[in-house]
Amino acid sequence: MKSLPYTIALLFCGLIIMSMAAKGHSADTDESVQKWEQLAWSKIQDEYKGASFSDYAYMGRTEVNDEQTKDVFRVTVRQKADTFSVRAEVYFHPVTKHMISINVFRL
């Protein structure tokens, strides 16, 4: 019975440490996504000048290989009477955070 309070305290401390570690990691990821999102958004606006945009969404991150990571964004474009989806893929180095390329294409 004496070990029960010790076990509960240990479990509680472990949960606090885990939540702090997860919180720190997600903040770094959010900042990284925002950086690539701004670049993707600029490229989409350049390619579809005069269009209106809606339903902008971050689709996710994929590790392509040791030297490339890809963030994917999607947006709905309305250009004249035509409405279609566009996908932007931002490739960057996962360690140095240098951009490799941005590909924008119509779906």
**Both tokens assigned to 16:** 């606090």
* pLDDT at position 21: 46
pLDDT class of 31 with cuts at 50, 70, 90: confident
How buried is 36 (Cβ within 10 angstroms: 0-12 exposed, 13-18 middle, 19+ buried)? buried
How buried is 37 (Cβ within 10 angstroms: 0-12 exposed, 13-18 middle, 19+ buried)? middle
Q: How far apart are CA 103 and CA 89, in angstroms?
A: 5
Average pLDDT estimate for 84-107: 94
Confidence (pTM): 0.70
Taking only the tens place, the pLDDT of each residue in 44-81 is: 999 999 999 999 899 999 999 999 999 999 999 999 89
**Both tokens assigned to 62:** 């994929």
